[in-house]
């Protein structure tokens, strides 16, 4: 028997409580795309430290002996991965598989998933926040930008879903 997913209303309430606890305990909201940025900056610094020291963009992350991997967003990202692993293990869904439509290949699904991730992270950097950072945390503090961001994310997802639906239905 396949395990059911959590009730979305309960999951949403729990997400709200996690956001509340994050704000209460750390004084910050949630955000994931920034953690990925700090990881990439660390890799660039490890590969070519001279470049990062001479770069206006990368240099600011290493000023005063700072280490990008010690940023709170990278810790949050690590917690996200560990939490996802634990959740998958508890619900007995911990297995390597590709969820896809029967009408497309695994390669096509993985290519589109990768491209979607790249575009989303790039857009999150342009917008100065991802769904969790700009939208959820922004809405939690009643920021107009948070509400506009959430409407833009859902609106664009609705429009693009029509064009790309054959990749998953």
How large a percentage of the chain has pLDDT more than 90? 17
Domain boundaries, the chain: 98-169
Distance CA 83, CA 61 (A): 27
pLDDT tens profile 3-25: 577 889 998 899 889 888 888 88
Quote the mean pLDDT of the chain. 85
Q: The whole model's pTM is what?
A: 0.70
For the chain, the C-alpha Rg in angstroms (whole number) is: 19
- Residue 124: C-alpha distances to residues 10, 51, 96, 136 (Å): 27, 25, 28, 13
Return the SS3 of 91: coil
Residue the block writes with tokens 């506009």: 148
pLDDT of the residue at 1: 47
Centre a 10 Å sphere on the Cβ of residue 31 and count the other Cβ atoms it contains: 21
pLDDT tens profile 50-71: 998 888 988 898 888 888 888 8
First to last CA, the chain: 23
Which among 27, 29, 21 has a CA at the least distance from the CA of 143?
29
The average pLDDT across 72-86 equals 88
Confidence class for position 137, pLDDT limits 50, 70, 90? confident
């Amino acid at each position: 028997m396949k395990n059911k997913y959590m009730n979305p209303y309960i999951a949403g309430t729990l997400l709200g409580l996690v956001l509340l606890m994050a704000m209460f305990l750390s004084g910050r909201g949630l955000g994931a795309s920034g953690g990925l940025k700090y990881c990439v900056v660390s890799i660039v610094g490890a590969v070519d430290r001279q470049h990062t020291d001479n770069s206006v963009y990368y240099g600011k992350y290493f000023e005063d002996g700072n280490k990008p991997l010690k940023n709170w967003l990278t810790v949050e990202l690590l917690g996200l991965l560990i939490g996802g692993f634990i959740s998958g293990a508890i619900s007995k869904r911990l297995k390597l598989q590709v969820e896809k439509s029967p009408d497309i290949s695994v390669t096509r699904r993985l290519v589109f998933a990768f491209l979607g991730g790249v575009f989303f992270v790039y857009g999150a950097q342009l917008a100065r926040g991802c769904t969790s950072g700009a939208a959820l945390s922004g809405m939690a503090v009643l920021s107009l930008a948070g509400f506009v961001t959430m409407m833009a994310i859902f609106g664009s997802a609705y429009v693009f879903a029509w064009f790309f639906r054959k990749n998953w239905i």
